[in-house]
Structure 1
Amino acid sequence: MWTDRASRCAALWLLAAPAAAQEPLTAIDWLGATEGLPRTTALPQPDAAGATQGSPVQPNEPPVADRVETPEITSAPLDAPSAEAVGLLPVSVTGLPRTLWSASETRDLLPKLNRIEADYAAISALLNTLLLAEADPPATGSEGAPLLAARIERLMRDGALDPALALLDRSGLGAETLFDLWFDLALLTQTEDAACTELEAKPSLSEALAPRIFCAARAGDWQRASLALAAGRETGTLSPRDADLLERFLDPELSEGLPPLPPPTDPTPLQFRLFEGIGEPLSTNRLGRAFAATDLDGDQGWKAQLAAAERLARAGTLAPNRFLGIYTEREPAASGGIWDRVEALQRFDTALTARDPRSIAAALRRVWPEMRDAGLLSTFATLYGPDLAGLPLDGPAKRMAQHAGLLSEEYETIAATSAPAGDAARFLFAVARGTDPGTPPPDLPHGASVQAGFDGTAETPPRIKTLAEDGKLGEAILVTMLEFERGAAGDPGALSGALAAMRDLGLEDTARRAALELVVTALEAREARR
């Protein structure tokens, strides 16, 4: 029986060795320990005559090496941006300064970044801009790249796998300090070949044993993977779930006579892929959006693809045009639930193409409640809001069309060129134009708070103002987003203050769109209860 220490070392060595033989490695942690070793002494210095005093080297001793290899030295200007400043959106696109984060502390940013729910399209769009913006990290610095890692993890959490992977690739840190994050993303996007190649060449990239066993198996070294699995199970280095999954992955014949493994409620990306590899794929319905994004390729069927498209569209991480492409890919073969939504949208799309107002009105009255109940009004409005503007509609169809226009990207133009249908629409049209909306109708949800945010009555909260004055613009925006969400949940003062702060910080478009979405969503929810 191996001792725990010996077994662990054997498992690490097995996974450190490539498929072909190589020289013994010394990367095992306990071999590199320095405690108890003698301190080094300074090299002896030559005297005036050129002789060395106290040198252990004899004058005629043969050289110990016939050549000296000098490592390549690279240089960079002192003001060169760090890898953590990488982004997919340059300053010229975002309009945000490179100093967005530099005056803040990383420990202050990360909790705020994780707390934002981004349930509203305007907030989600602003959050994605912050996550993808080129901006210098906090000037105080931290070990590793914690802010970049948090940005990538948040993108992954929201199901934006491709942007997260692109951001990591551009940073160049995937094969260095952020390998585990790269490996997770690679597993979810089925691009793990490169990550496994890096791990096989440099096992110290990850302390976890399961990825090394997985990659060894993918490289065809089943014996090494099996021995490491046995050692990992013996010592407890592998979790029982990982050990069971890897055992079935390495020996499919063994798993044929075994009962299915119980599905985890919160699997790791590796566990997710291993379940798939042993023929027991996990349903993503109850898993995070990162897993739902794996269904977008359609391999698990059209219904799973549709469900994933809806979840990611609600999160603002799926482009509306791609959502439409998936929704109109084929005709629904069943009825009820998601199939009714698909059919309703397809019928509306056909009616809008024909440009017959009567058919459009009928199709709109059918599809609008379906999109509303599924939380997809913003996606629908982005696709169709501008086309609905100006059509000769009346009654409920006109209200739906105006709300779609207000939720679209062309909300300001639509508000400036259309006649509002009712007092609520008149108030919302003024908000869309960025003018004082006046007194809201008495029964308008959030009306008083929105009015205060746009008529100059509300002021930016002192905390947000102080952050902005201290140069902590990114942190001020995060706090503003959190205040908006608190206001949307029922705090009138927080809502009016957040809207005022957005406008003071130069986020006028976000302020208008967030206010419009909040009120329209509340109005539609009230309509649904009738």
Structure 2
Amino acid sequence: MASGVVGLACSMGSAPAFAAGDDPLSAIDWLSQSVSTPGAGKAGKPAGPVKTIEPPVTSEGALPVTVSSTSLDIPSPDSVGLISPAVSGLPRNLWGAGLSDEIARAVIRDRMESLPALRQLFLTMLLAEADPPIDAGNDGRLLLARIDKLLQIGALEQAAALIDIAGDGTPDLFRRAFDIAILTGREDKACERMQKAPGLAPTLPAHVFCLARGGEWDAAALTLTSADKLGDVDKAQTALLSRFLDPDLFEADAVPPPPSPVTPLDWKLYEAIGETMPTGRMPIAFAYAEIGPQSGWKAQIEAAERLTRAGTIAPNVLLGLYTERDAAASGGVWDRVDAFQAFDAAMQSKDKTRIAATLPPVWARMQEAELEVPFASLYGPPLAALDLPPDVARIAFRIGLLSPQYEAIASAHKALDETEIFLTGLALGDITGLRAPDMMGRAIAPAFLTPEISDEARMLLEGMRLGEAILLAIEDIQRGVDGNVSGVTRGLSLLRKVKLENVARRTALELMILERRG
């Protein structure tokens, strides 16, 4: 799946509140305490949250935050990326004159409800090669914020790739690499890395887990027993690790209740004792743990739907799962499987009668699951090439406009009504003289006729803070989806102003076609 990371990103969870000098700008409460960090107490007993990208505080406290000390011969980790400017369409000075902490705060804000085109733009920004902020040091605080956001939106393969480039030699980066490895089924590699790096001192639970994974069960048991006697691990963790090491010995005992929050290591330990916890209500990153063959088919499909909806895995993964075998029951996910299989078989047969009969039902199922854009990327172009009955052709046209080939499809289409004329104009970037068919269309139109950005966006652009201006546009458009339609005008205007025309058009089409309006 890693090979598709760049292509997926370029196809264009909530973060904790921040109080200066208090909580870190970027922290995930479900990260495993896999290695000891400065300020930690006894093994397995971390001393509070790990302060990953908090600005340093000196006794004088008089220097402005823009003053920093950076070794000129060591590149800042914040410049690490997977996508070059030539591919991303974003300039190398994306963050410009912005400050690391302010950019990090903007990055970690919640955008999970954004439209698909905007989610892909955001993902591309997280993965883009870019010059570090002007105050960046060598601590990689923006890199950590980007990685944490990737974890929060379920982009584990992409986060792992960033860490591979940056290196996992620090406790903060290794902790993230360790959890990614667990959730993607590569825990043995992570344990091997831990053993070969003396600077990565494992905490008790991680040490016991890795000893056992390496076949050293007696050493793991002895380590746990000694730590328990010394009070270096809490009773609940001891009970879980003891059952993990020897499940038969505790077969008659009640399974320890899961902690809150559950970490990836906790999840793996419960899975190992035969008490796998469903990931549906967990952070989306945990869905990765259930898309592999070790999980049941239904769990795999539901996990893949979450990740596909978030835009972090390729639609082909879901296609493969939907068509793997016959549905086992009816209702919910099985209705989607049935509808998808019937339509896919019709497309394979190239029988237009069958396609016309199966397209409306599968499209309704995709709308229910908010999987319209992934579906369009799979079937939009071939559907557009078919001569279908008018009622079905209307659906096919909208599906085509949600695909990456929207412009070519619009150029070749003969519009059937006023709405299709407007949609065609949006796809081609020219709505001069066209009438907007509804309120959303009227909010979109000014951005393509007389674009005008907000005062806040103008200040960011004039201050050479392009990246933050783009993030503001994403948020403005989302506010428009939620009901404040003026945000749509402002956000789309800014995207066009900074030459993100493709994103602006795709977003406008999604605003018109998808049922995401507040």
Q: How high is the TM-score relative to the length of structure 1?
A: 0.79
Residue 217 of structure 1 contacts residue 250 of structure 1 at CA under 8 Å; is this kept in 2? yes
Q: Counterpart in 2 of 1:497? A: 490
Given candidates 316, 319, 323, the residue that maps to 2:318 is: 323
* Equivalent position SS for 1:297: coil
1:447 to 436, 441, 447: 441
1:519 alignment partner, one of 502, 512, 515: 512
The equivalent residue for 1:409 is 404
Task: Provide the C-alpha distance between the structure 2 equivalents of 1:346 and 1:317, rounded to a whole number of angstroms.
Answer: 23
Instruction: Map 1:64-463; keep pairs closer than 5 Å.
Output: 78=72, 81-115=75-109, 116-142=111-137, 144-174=139-169, 177-202=172-197, 204-206=199-201, 208-222=203-217, 224-230=219-225, 232-233=227-228, 237-264=232-259, 266-436=261-431, 438=433, 440-441=435-436, 444-456=438-450, 458-463=451-456
The answer (yes or no) to whether the contact 1:415–1:429 under 8 Å persists in 2 is yes
1:471/1:240 CA distance change after superposition, 3 Å: farther
Match of 1:16 in 2: none
Distance 1:421 1:429, change over 3 A: same
* 8 A Cα contact 1:144 1:177, kept in partner: no
CA 1:330 to 1:186, structure 2 compared with 1: closer, same or farther past 3 Å? same
d(CA) in 1 for partners of 2:328 and 2:474?
42
Identity of aligned residues (%): 42
Determine the C-alpha separation between the residues in 1 that align with 2:236 and 2:86: 48
Instruction: Go from structure 1 to structure 2 and tell me whether the alpha carbon gap of 1:305 and 1:9 turns closer, same or farther (over 3 Å shift).
Output: closer
Shift of 1:270: 0.7
Offset at residue 327 of structure 1 (A): 1.4
1:473 to 2:466 alignment:
yes
Measured in 2, the distance between the counterparts of 1:448 and 1:239 equals 60
TM-aligned CA distance change 1:417 to 1:439, over 3 Å: closer
Aligned to 1:17: none
SS in 2 for 1:307: helix
Q: CA deviation at 1:409?
A: 0.7
**Take 2:505 and 2:424, find their aligned partners in 1: how far apart are those partners?**
10
**In the TM superposition, what is the alpha-carbon distance from 1:273 to its structure 2 partner?**
0.7
Kindly provide the amino acid, as one letter, of the partner of residue 218 in structure 1.
R
Whole-angstrom CA distance in 1 between matches of 2:239 and 2:265: 13
Q: Distance in 2 between matches of 1:92 and 1:245?
A: 50
> SS of the counterpart of 2:514?
helix
Q: CA deviation at 1:227?
A: 4.9
Report the Cα offset of residue 97 of structure 1.
2.1
Distance 1:240 1:514 in 2: 52
Aligned to 2:501: 508
| Kept in 2: contact 1:85–1:134 (CA 8 A) | yes
Contact 1:467 1:475 in 2 (8 A): yes
2:77–2:139 CA contact under 8 A, matched in 1: no
Matched-pair contact (CA < 8 Å) for 1:83–1:173: no
**Contact preservation (8 Å) 1:371, 1:377:** yes
Q: Which residue of 1 aligns with 2:55?
A: none
Q: 1:275 to 1:439 in 2, by over 3 A?
A: same
Once the two structures are superposed, residues 182-220 of structure 1 have per-residue CA deviations (whole angstroms, 9 ceiling, x without a partner) of: 111111122223332343344552574322232233344
Alignment-mate amino acid for residue 426 of structure 1: I
Unaligned runs of 5+ in 2: 1-38, 45-70
Give 3-state SS (helix, strand or coil) of 1:134's partner: coil
Q: 1:176 to 1:10 in 2, by over 3 A?
A: closer
The one-letter code matched in structure 2 to 1:186 is A
Aligned partners of 1:135, 1:102: CA distance in 2, in Å? 9
The one-letter code matched in structure 2 to 1:89 is: I
CA contact (8 A) 2:457 2:494 kept: yes
CA distance in 2, matches of 1:237, 1:290: 29
**8 A contact 1:10–1:231 mirrored in 2:** no
Letter of the 1:346 counterpart: Q
Counterpart residue type for residue 483 of structure 1: D
> Does the C-alpha gap of structure 1 residues 83 and 424 become closer, same or farther in structure 2, counting only changes over 3 Å?
same
Go from structure 1 to structure 2 and tell me whether the alpha carbon gap of 1:321 and 1:174 turns closer, same or farther (over 3 Å shift). farther
Distance in 2, matches of 1:283 and 1:374, equals 19
On the 8 A contact 2:76/2:138 being kept in 1, the answer is: no
3-state SS in 2 of match to 1:339 = helix
Q: Which amino acid aligns with 1:197?
A: E
Residues 266 and 405 of structure 1: CA distance in aligned 2, closer, same or farther (over 3 Å): same
Contact 1:365 1:396 in 2 (8 A): no
Name the amino acid aligned to 1:516. Answer: L
Distance 2:343 2:216 in 1: 55
| Cα pair 1:437 1:451 within 8 Å, conserved | no
SS in 1 for 2:442: helix
Higher Cα radius of gyration? 1
Matches of 1:398 and 1:9, distance apart in 2: 63
Question: For residues 174 and 10 of structure 1, what CA distance do their matches in structure 2 show?
Answer: 21
Q: Distance in 2 between matches of 1:352 and 1:194?
A: 42
Instruction: Provide the rounded CA distance (Å) in 1 between the counterparts of 2:322 and 2:199.
Output: 45
What is the rounded CA distance, in whole Å, between the counterparts of 1:501 and 1:378 in structure 2?
23
**Change in CA separation of 1:268 and 1:513 when aligned onto 2, cut-off 3 Å:** same
Query: CA separation in 2, counterparts of 1:94 and 1:381?
Result: 22
Bigger relative contact order, structure 1 or 2, given CA contacts below 8 A and separation 6+? 2
**1:180–1:206 CA contact under 8 A, matched in 2:** no
Q: Which moved more, 1:380-389 or 1:249-258?
A: 249-258
SS in 1 for 2:343: helix
Aligned mates of 1:86, 1:203 — CA distance in 2: 25
Distance 1:12 1:408, change over 3 A: closer
